[in-house]
Amino acid sequence: MDAGKLARHPTDTGSERAVPALAEIRPWWAPPLRPRGEDNCETPTLPGPGGMRVNNLKHLCLPGAHLLGSYFCYDNPAALQTQVKRDMQVNTTKFMLLYAWYSWPNVVLCFFGGFLIDRVFGIRWGTIIFSCFVCIGQVVFALGGIFNAFWLMEFGRFVFGIGGESLAVAQNTYAVSWFKGKELNLVFGLQLSMARIGSTVNMNLMGWLYSKIEALLGSAGHTTLGITLMIGGITCILSLICALALAYLDQRAERILHKEQGKTGEVIKLTDVKDFSLPLWLIFIICVCYYVAVFPFIGLGKVFFTEKFGFSSQAASAINSVVYVISAPMSPVFGLLVDKTGKNIIWVLCAVAATLVSHMMLAFTMWNPWIAMCLLGLSYSLLACALWPMVAFVVPEHQLGTAYGFMQSIQNLGLAIISIIAGMILDSWGYLFLEVFFIACVSCEYSV
């Protein structure tokens, strides 16, 4: 999850699509959509006790809550890196295929997720169907562990990826359908925070859960791994329940308020690609070079902190989750900052510089890694707020859907390829060379 996707990731997303103010901050894999309508539109009122408005607590939380399972399970491999490699007897290159297989389907689906929601399934059925893909993918992933079949785990991640990215598009559609104007700032901020809660809890819970199941069964192994992943999949079931609740509430509003189902508003025309300007291509390059230096590192970070700095498994997981912990509260703050100052290019340069310093600290010093990871978390949040809205500055509005779809597509392509390369570098030369590789990726952004 993003590029979330991650996010995967991803939004992220985890999503990072051009929307007003704080709505511009989404996880790496799930950029929000441009809202339609005037800022002073009234918020629709749903029926209920006291004529409750749509922006009460449950309507604020449900659109974000139904992505919790996707964000939680996206980084299951990172949280269980040691266990997966040991129990499934795979090297780092094969381990990173679990991330690559998530990204491969989204090289294509980023173009068609909105179309499927608008023209084929509708927002309600689309959300439910993509939630089912997430659930099925996680179950297959877990069964691969139980039956000691790594190929089955890879297939499960592929199916999981089909649902994860498109589910984020559906979430955005609900948000812009239910909320208007400045209310979107709060909604997207809360959704991002809830999504990052899922990522953070995963990083700090799954290792502990594995140890408890190991103690219960009396031994470690692929069965213990599979059961751990299956229990983690409960979050996907909860997300599916939220999707059903969203469908019910949206249908209720449509019936009583006589409003239409929400649509993504995306207009994808592949022929627009030939008309993309040089500044837009430079934004694409910056996007890919940046995110490939963040999410693959998080995917491999737990063992890095254990081996280089001597942290325990639990402490390493906590450090590895810092980027997600910081992005939850700071993304809305940085979104407001970028919105007020308007200096997007300056903020992007600052974020890239901070990320470069962070990787250099991790590679060449023995300083407490909390410092570098906090800096990385701040820079990641800042770049998400500043970079994605820049697309709207350099392309006409009728090409925005194609531009954002293409941006997500090549981001997922970059993540898929670099995940495999990162695993190969780590297997052959170790973490120092891997960090040098990430430093080179970030440095490429200054060359453009």
Q: CA 53, CA 73: separation in Å to the nearest integer?
A: 32
Instruction: Give yes or no for a contact between 163 and 137, defined as CB atoms under 8 angstroms apart.
Output: yes
8, part of any domain: no
Please report whether residue 73 resides in a domain: yes
User: In this structure, what DSSP letter does residue 399 have?
Assistant: G
CA distance 93 to 299: 12
| Gyration radius of the chain's alpha carbons | 20
Q: Is the dihedral of CA 269, 270, 271, 275 positive or negative?
A: positive
Does 2 map to a domain?
Answer: no
pLDDT digit string (tens) for 375-392?
Answer: 999 999 999 889 988 888
* pLDDT tens string 89-109: 999 999 999 999 999 999 988
Distance of CA 54 to the CA centre of its chain: 26
Closest CA to 116 of 134, 102, 128, 100: 128
Domain count, the chain: 1
- Of 426, 414, 336, 327, the C-alpha closest to 374 is 327
Q: Output the domain CATH number for residue 366.
A: 1.20.1250.20
**Complete DSSP assignment for 249-316:** HHHHHHHHH--PPP-------GGGGGG--HHHHHHHHHHHHHHTTTHHHHHHHHHHHHHHH---HHHH
How many other CB atoms sit within 10 Å of the CB of residue 370? 13
Residue 55 maps to a domain: yes
CB 87 within 8 A of CB 95: no
Q: How confident is the model at residue 45 (pLDDT cuts 50, 70, 90)?
A: very low
Q: How far apart are CA 417 and CA 173, in angstroms?
A: 30
Q: Are 156 and 134 in contact (CB under 8 A)?
A: no
Q: How does residue 324 score in pLDDT terms, banded at 50, 70 and 90?
A: very high
Structural domain for 162, as ranges:
21-447
pLDDT at 32 over 60: no
44: left (phi over 0), alpha (psi -120 to 50) or beta: beta
Task: Tell me, yes or no, whether 4 lies in a domain.
Answer: no
Q: pTM of the predicted model, to two decimals? A: 0.83
pLDDT tens-digit series, residues 119-137: 788 888 988 999 999 999 9
Q: Flag whether 14 is in a domain.
A: no
Are the C-beta atoms of 193 and 53 separated by less than 8 Å?
A: no
Residue 12 lies in a domain: no
The token duo for 293 is 């230096």
Query: Residue 376: which of 301, 436, 286 has the closest Cα?
Result: 301
Q: Is the pLDDT of residue 403 over 90?
A: no
pLDDT in tens, 142-201: 999 999 999 999 999 999 999 888 887 777 677 667 766 555 555 666 777 777 889 999
Residue 5 maps to a domain: no
What is the phi/psi pair of residue 53, to 5°?
A: -85, 160
